[in-house]
Amino acid sequence: MSGNNERSPRRRAATVRSLRPARRPGTPREDGEWSVASWDDLVTWVRLRYEVMAQNASSLTFRLPTTEDRTQLVYVHHRGEVDGHDWLQIESPIARLDEIDTRRLLELAEEAVVGGAVAVGGVAVFRHATPLEDLSFAEFDAPFRLVTHIADQLEHALTGTDKY
């Protein structure tokens, strides 16, 4: 290439792609909400609204701000078909099981309106699951935010730290 004013084809393609109107993910429902038609639609929608730390074919990883300069690690997993429905899980680690009073964890988690506490590989995790079928984006977002907030509150109450 000669001269610094020429753009590479790769750069030009990225500029053109960024000017195309984005396809709205999902499908319209009778109530006016847009439903998550597939895992791919959910991924597209989430990537437009949140910074994704990591992604593979069946999961997304986030580090989301919570309160008082705290952050929380959150995972969204596509679990595939279970009992005839396509499922996803939202989960967030709280603490290592050997570092907390697990009875106290269960007592504190009782107040939650979504999800529950589970043990995964020696770690206490707050988890919520929902079928993708007919799920609106708002119906995903509310539990996603609640799981994040609840896990952070539980971590703070049980450990006083912000490890996860």
CB-based burial label for 88 (10 Å; 0-12, 13-18, 19+) = buried
Residues 6+ apart with CB under 8 A from 69: none
Residue found by looking up tokens 């639609």 in the block: 41
Q: For position 28, what pLDDT does the model report?
A: 56
User: Is the separation of the CB atoms in 34 and 137 below 8 Å?
Assistant: yes
Packing angle of the helix pair 137-159, 102-109 (nearest 10 deg): 140
Q: For position 68, what pLDDT does the model report?
A: 87
Q: For position 134, what pLDDT does the model report?
A: 75
The domain ranges of the chain are 26-159
Q: How far apart are CA 50 and CA 102, in angstroms?
A: 31
CA-to-CA separations, 134 to 13, 36, 137, 155, 156, in angstroms, rounded: 35, 7, 10, 32, 34
pLDDT per residue as tens, the chain (164 positions): 444 444 434 333 333 333 333 444 555 556 656 567 688 888 998 998 899 999 999 999 999 999 889 999 999 999 988 888 889 999 999 999 999 999 999 999 998 999 999 999 999 999 999 998 878 888 899 999 999 999 999 999 999 999 99
**Assigned CATH topology for domain 26-159:** Yope Regulator; Chain: A, (3.30.1460)
- Backbone φ and ψ for 137, nearest 5 degrees, come out as -65, -35
3-state secondary structure of 44: helix
Q: For position 34, what pLDDT does the model report?
A: 58
Beta bridge pairs of residue 145? none
Q: How far apart are CA 164 and CA 90, in angstroms?
A: 15
Residues 6+ apart with CB under 8 A from 149: 66, 72
Q: What is the pTM of this model?
A: 0.77
Q: For position 35, what pLDDT does the model report?
A: 62
3-state secondary structure of 33: coil
